[in-house]
Amino acid sequence: MQILSRHLVAAFGALACTLGTAHAAELDPRAVEFKAPKDIKWVRNAAGTNEQAVLFGDPTKPGPYVVRIKWLPGNFSRPHFHGTDRFFVVLSGTWWVGTGDKFDPDNNTVPIPAGSYVIHKGGQVHYDGAKGEEAIIQVSGIGPVTTTQAAKPQ
């Protein structure tokens, strides 16, 4: 038992030393860029339905972009489409997605759980959002992004 205890103490000591030195290193920003969650700037949209954080690029300009969208509970976009394909990963919560121009989030949406991957095809009508819980998704694509409403809000 004493031998096992000594091995455990040594293992935990080595782990503590490893963890202690892991924070001492600095990354070369020419090689790796990162943002801690606390440093990600979220901006609420004018309607108050979601928040967005641009992580890379600018979706309004030509070139690649990466954006996080935080859908607030009980909020949905209206049927719309984009000019280009967009690629999503659901990071947390359940994201609800519907297709077509008939807006019916209660009956015509599919729950997309955290960890899922989704493609919104350019020119195809869809709508999306969150029901009873916040959903955070990350979207990437090639800008500029255009959004066209499919129908007038009902």
Q: Is residue 125 part of a domain?
A: yes
Q: Is residue 59 part of a domain?
A: yes
Those residues with Cβ within 8 angstroms of residue 67's Cβ, 6 or more apart along the chain or in another chain: 52, 53, 54, 55, 59, 138, 139, 140
Domain holding 61: CATH number? 2.60.120.10
40, 55 Cβ separation under 8 angstroms:
yes
Q: Is residue 20 part of a domain?
A: no
Nearest to 82 by CA among 128, 19, 47: 128
Q: Is residue 102 part of a domain?
A: yes
The C-alpha atoms of residue 19 and residue 86 are separated, in whole angstroms, by: 38
Q: Is residue 31 part of a domain?
A: no
pLDDT digits (tens, 9 = 90+) for 96-136: 999 999 999 999 999 999 999 999 999 999 999 999 999 99
Longest pairwise C-alpha distance within the chain: 75
Radius of gyration of the chain (CA): 21
How many domains does the chain fold into? Answer: 1
The C-alpha atoms of residue 150 and residue 77 are separated, in whole angstroms, by: 11
pTM listed for this prediction: 0.80
pLDDT digits (tens, 9 = 90+) for 21-66: 556 789 999 999 999 999 999 999 999 999 999 999 999 999 999 9
Instruction: Give me the domain span that covers residue 110.
Output: 37-149
Q: Is residue 21 part of a domain?
A: no
Q: Is residue 3 part of a domain?
A: no
The C-alpha atoms of residue 83 and residue 148 are separated, in whole angstroms, by: 8
Q: Is residue 118 part of a domain?
A: yes
